[in-house]
Amino acid sequence: MKSRRGFVALYPGSFDPITHGHEELARRALAVADRLIVAVASTSTHDKHGLFGIDERVRLIEEVFADEERIEVKSFEGLLVDFARQEGASLVIRGLRAVSDFEYELQMAQMNRELWGEIETIFMVPDVRYSFLSASLVREVARLGGDVSKMVSKPVLKGLKSKLKKAK
Ligand code: PNS
């Protein structure tokens, strides 16, 4: 059995970009794990119109959690279960905002368990302030000139501004 001191959980996702919702959930997850790896996936099950490159996402998340030494940020290619095994992490944390998330999350959790029987997924509920928030909506609102300053941290806001300026 792994000692409680070294219990590591994975928080996987696309994080394009990381929002306050993700951030709050990751900090909350430290109540159940000693260390958390925020795992930025190169391949997402959701087909998305990406904005930030994988390395840019990692860098932004590192900036957001610069104050928290128990959170580490890594990117991975291929299957989540393979990455989890490689990192010695058998607990996956995912956020559930609404019932609409549930079907997709359940499918993923079951598929992951089918692929690796030792993996466990736990779902955490973000603060109600963030229940409407998604990275895809943040991207869309920012692209259309809306104010997302209450939805993302300062480094992300800066990143969004420079990204969208370059895109013009
Ligand atoms: O933030 P997202 O896009 O909802 O996160 C989805 C993610 C990245 C967790 C999922 O697509 C994933 O685990 N991708 C890695 C590839 C993989 O293992 N696919 C099978 C998942 S059942």
**Alpha carbon separation from 153 to 38, 59, 63, 157 (Å, rounded):** 16, 13, 9, 6
Q: Is the CB of 43 under 6 A from ligand 1?
A: yes
Give the CA-trace dihedral at 159, 37, 39, 161, to 10 degrees: -10
Q: Is the CB of 141 under 6 A from ligand 1?
A: no
Non-local (6+) Cβ contacts of 128 within 8 A are none
Residue pair 20/151 in contact (Cβ under 8 Å)? The answer is yes
Q: Read off the pTM.
A: 0.94
- Residue 140 has a pLDDT of 95
| pLDDT (tens digit per residue) in 11-24 | 999 999 999 999 99
- Residue 1 has a pLDDT of 44
Q: Is the CB of 19 under 6 A from ligand 1?
A: no
* Protein residue closest via CA to atom 20 of ligand 1: 79
pLDDT tens for the chain, 168 residues: list them.
Answer: 444 558 999 999 999 999 999 999 999 999 999 999 999 999 876 656 789 999 999 999 999 999 999 999 999 999 999 999 999 999 999 999 988 899 999 999 999 999 999 999 999 999 999 999 999 999 999 999 999 999 999 999 999 999 988 776
3-state secondary structure of 121: strand
Q: What percent of the chain has pLDDT over 90?
A: 86
* Protein residue closest via CA to atom 1 of ligand 1: 13
Sort residue 5 into left (φ over 0), alpha (ψ -120 to 50) or beta.
Answer: alpha
Measure the CA–CA gap between 25 and 18, rounded to whole angstroms. 11
- In 3D, which of 124, 119, 45 has the Cα closest to residue 84? 119
